[in-house]
Structure 1
Amino acid sequence: NYIIMEYIEGDLLIEGKFDREDIFDITRQCNALDQAGINHRQIQGGKHIICGTKNVIIDFEKAHFSNTPKNVTSFLSMCFLSDCLVRQRIKEIFDFQEDFIKTLLKEYKSNSNIVDLIKNIQ
């Protein structure tokens, strides 16, 4: 028995080497997980996302199937609402108000419309 793993070139999100498009790409990936009913459970913190030539969510050790996955809301809450290193970088590249982001996340929770969510954040 053996395991084959792909090496992903890039930096952890928490290291702050990302741009606007990386955030939108990761949000879309989180939405795909939500739509598949998979809750990653470790999105917040930025240690399980690699940004590089392609952005990749890694480490699904604690992931599970769920009727109410929270990947998009967890990821964007980390980016825009938490007190972490990722948010400091987000402030440099996005102009936002916390209340506006909270409203967008509530709307996403009720309608799961990722297109509107990303359009409104841009």
Structure 2
Amino acid sequence: MAIPMKLLMIFALSSLFIISAAFAISDSPFIVAHKKATLTKLDSGAEHASVSIDIYNRGSAGSLVSHSFELVSRVKAMYYGTPAVITFRIPMKSKLQDAYSTPILPLDILADRIPAKKLELVTSSSSM
């Protein structure tokens, strides 16, 4: 007799929940990192990329650390970013640990974009 797919999914999700709860209760760090980037065109024909990495410790000593930097590009290109690698050490252990951030979507630097209309006024000739 085959086990229904829904039952397997419920079992898998509940297992992940229990494991993540155990990590949250433990004394060791549990690192979650988020990497994001935004592009801004400059009048000089260049594009400004702002990149930030937020690192959350979801373990017993919950804290947040952010790192940001800015890049300026004058070359039209497609940039594919990789996840950031965060190396840390758990107290009382000598082995270094690695955590990876979320990846960023590809950045189309100096691409021809249609400007987004922030405000659009609509007039109707029939309402006059």
TM band (smaller chain): under 0.3
TM-score (structure 1 length as normaliser): 0.25
Highest Rg: 1 or 2? Answer: 2
Output the TM-score relative to the length of structure 2: 0.24
Which of the two has greater helix per residue? 1
Higher relative contact order (CA 8 A, sep 6+): 1
Task: Judging by fraction of residues, say which structure has more strand.
Answer: 2
